[in-house]
Amino acid sequence: MKEINLTVNNRPYRLSVLPWRTLLEVIRENLGLTGTKEGCGLGECGACTVLIDGRAVNSCLVLAAEAEGKEITTIEGLADGDKLHPLQQAFVDHGGLQCGFCTPGMILSAKALLDENPTPTEEEIKQGIAGNLCRCTGYAKIIESIKAAAENMGGK
């Protein structure tokens, strides 16, 4: 077993994990945060996207042990109590989700994009979510939601 210390959604954790466990598995199974999804398990779909120190990564490709000392943000860490993050609110308002399975990863990729580039063009939005597959929406309302969120968050 490996002892690791990490922060998830601003809470510190000290966990005992098997060396071959991925960060995705530990988030879901040790911490019970099932909002982060396992889609393909190979880094090809983006459903498992979380932020590590603010950067979007596929958590299925990160060993839990590699997250030692890191700050992880999952979908559960975005809302402020009852108040949704502007991205979450925009997805709700603009129909940026249907089955919802890609949604946590998609929102986090969008957050990473907007945190770095608050006024993305449509092309930049598409590049920002290029690693997140969605099978339901055809991406149209996802892009619309991200644009709306960018406006609400102060970008134009």
Partner 1 sequence: MTTFYRRLPRFNYLAPVSLNEALSLLARYKGKAKVIAGGTDIIPKLKRREIRAPEHVIDLKAIPGLDNIQYDVSGLSLGALVTIGAVETSAIIQEKFGVLAQAARSMASPQVRNRGTIAGNICNAVPSADSAPPLLTIGAKLKLVSQEGERVVGIEDFFTGPGQTALANDEILQEIQIPHPPPNSQGIYLKLTPRRAMDLAIVGVAVVIIPQDGICKDIRIALGAVAPTPIRARRAEVVLKGQKLDDNLIEKAARTAAGEARPIDDHRASAEYRRDMVEVLVRRAIKQAIGSRS
Partner 2 sequence: MSELSVIGERVPRVDAIEKVTGQAKYAADYSLPDMLWCKLLRSPHPHARILNIDTSKAERLPGVKGIVTGKDFGGWSWGWMPATRDEPPMAVDKVRYMAEAVAGLAAVDEDTAEEAVGLIKVEYEELPGVFEPEEAMKDGAPAIHDYVKNNISVEYHWNFGDVDKAFAESHLVREDRFRTARATHGYLEPPAILAYYDPTGYITVQASKQSPYFHYRHLAACFKVPLSRVRVIQPFIGGGFGGTKNDSLAGDFCAVLLSKITGRPVKYIESMEEELATSRRRHSVIVYSKMGVGKDGLLKAIQHRVVADGGGYTAIGPLSMYLNGFMTTLPYRLPHFKFDAYRVFTNNPIGAAMRGHGVTHTRFAAEIQMEMLAEELGIDPVEMRMRNAIDNPRPGETYETINKVTLKTCGLKQAIREAVADPVWRDRDKLPKKEGNISWGTGISGTSYSGGARQMGHQACAAIIRLCEDGTVNLITGATDCGQGSDTVLCMIAAEELGIKLDDVAIKRVDTAYTPVDPGSYGSRVTILAGQATQKAARQVKKQLVEAAAKNWQVKAEDVEIKLGEVYLKSDPSKKMPFGKLARIACYSGTGAVIMGTGYSSYGIEPLDLTNGIGNGGCSYSFTAHTARVGVDMETGKITTTDFTIASDCGRLLSPIQAEGQIEGGAIQGLGQALYEDFIMDRGRTLNPTFLDYKMPHALDVPDMKLIDIVTDDPFGPFGAKEASEGSIVSAPPAVVSAIHDATGIWFTELPVTPEKIIKALKERK
79 binds partner 2 (CB under 8 A): yes
124 binds partner 1 (CB under 8 A): no
Q: Nearest approach, Cβ of 82 to partner 1 (angstroms)?
A: 29
Q: Nearest approach, Cβ of 50 to partner 1 (angstroms)?
A: 9
CA 52 to chain centre: 10
Decide which of partner 1, partner 2, none touches 22; Cβ closer than 5 to 8 Å per partner kind: partner 1
- Of 62, 64, 58, the closest CA to residue 109 belongs to 58
Q: Provide the pairing of β-strand 71-73 with 2-8.
A: parallel
Q: Which two tokens stand for residue 59?
A: 């958590």
Other Cβ atoms less than 10 A from the Cβ of 91: the count is 25
- Paired with 80 in beta bridges are 83
- Paired with 11 in beta bridges are 8
Nearer to partner 1, 69 or 155 (CB): 69
| SS3 call for 122 | helix
Residue ranges in 23-42 that form contacts with partner 1 under rule CB under 8 A: 25, 38, 41-42
Q: 36 with 104: CB under 8 angstroms?
A: yes
136 binds partner 2 (CB under 8 A): yes
135 binds partner 1 (CB under 8 A): no
91 binds partner 2 (CB under 8 A): yes
Residues engaged in binding partner 1 (CB under 8 A):
2, 18-22, 25, 38, 41-44, 46, 49, 52, 55-58, 60-63, 65-66, 68, 109, 112-113, 127-128, 130-132
